């Protein structure tokens, strides 16, 4: 039994996301992509890891709009994911799930930084998340950040 969420858990319908856009659009109107927080869902009988525990705290604080307090658990989630990822290289068949965990943790910190207005830092985290795994919520967040950077550049001109 693995101690990390598996690829199946992240790709299955158990992937829970929280849209951050607070705009209300009509049912017929096409909504633009939204930055998305991603949870690390555990399999039955799976022990929570340091990365999953820190990720849950990070998400809860972002949802509560306690953005300054969310920085530390978001950083801790990334640190735990990277530590587990580097240790997994000793066991080749265990490497892939940690890429997904890294993608999730970097994505969530990118959302935090986006909400704090730190566009360049958000873009850097988003790029790391996409590099780790190109799952749909990660790519949506990357698209939102790219659009915000484009808008900021247009306003600066």
Residue 126 placed within a domain: yes
**Dist. CA 134–CA 152, nearest whole Å:** 25
**Residue position matching structure tokens 């949506």:** 140
Examine residue 10 and state whether it is found in any structural domain, yes or no: no
In a domain, 5, yes or no: no
Helix boundaries (H) for the chain:
7-11, 50-63, 67-87, 95-115, 119-132, 136-156
For residue 43, how many other CB atoms are within 10 A of its CB?
14
Residue 56, domain member (yes or no) = yes
The structural domain count of the chain equals: 1
In a domain, 2, yes or no: no
Query: Is residue 114, in this structure, part of any structural domain at all?
Result: yes
The pLDDT profile of the chain, 157 residues, written as one tens digit per residue, is 443 443 333 333 333 333 443 334 444 455 667 889 999 887 787 788 899 999 999 999 999 999 999 999 999 999 998 887 665 544 444 434 568 899 999 999 999 999 999 999 999 999 999 999 989 999 999 999 999 999 999 998 8
Strand partners, 19: 36
Q: What is the CATH number of the domain that holds 88?
A: 1.25.40
| Residue range of the domain that includes 116 | 47-156
């Amino acid at each position: 039994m693995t101690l990390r969420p598996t690829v199946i858990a992240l790709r299955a319908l158990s992937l829970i996301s929280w849209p951050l856009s607070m705009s209300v659009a009509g049912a017929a109107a096409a909504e633009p992509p939204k930055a998305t927080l991603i949870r690390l869902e555990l399999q039955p009988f799976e022990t929570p890891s340091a990365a999953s525990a820190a990720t849950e705290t990070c998400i809860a604080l972002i949802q509560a709009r306690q953005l300054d307090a969310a920085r530390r658990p978001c950083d801790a989630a990334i640190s735990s994911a990277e530590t587990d990822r580097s240790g997994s290289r000793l066991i080749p068949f265990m490497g892939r799930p940690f890429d997904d965990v890294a993608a999730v943790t970097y994505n969530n910190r990118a959302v935090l930084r986006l909400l704090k207005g730190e566009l360049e830092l958000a873009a850097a985290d988003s790029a790391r998340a996409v590099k780790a795994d190109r799952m749909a919520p990660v790519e949506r967040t990357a698209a939102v950040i790219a659009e915000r950077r484009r808008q900021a550049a247009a306003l600066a001109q």
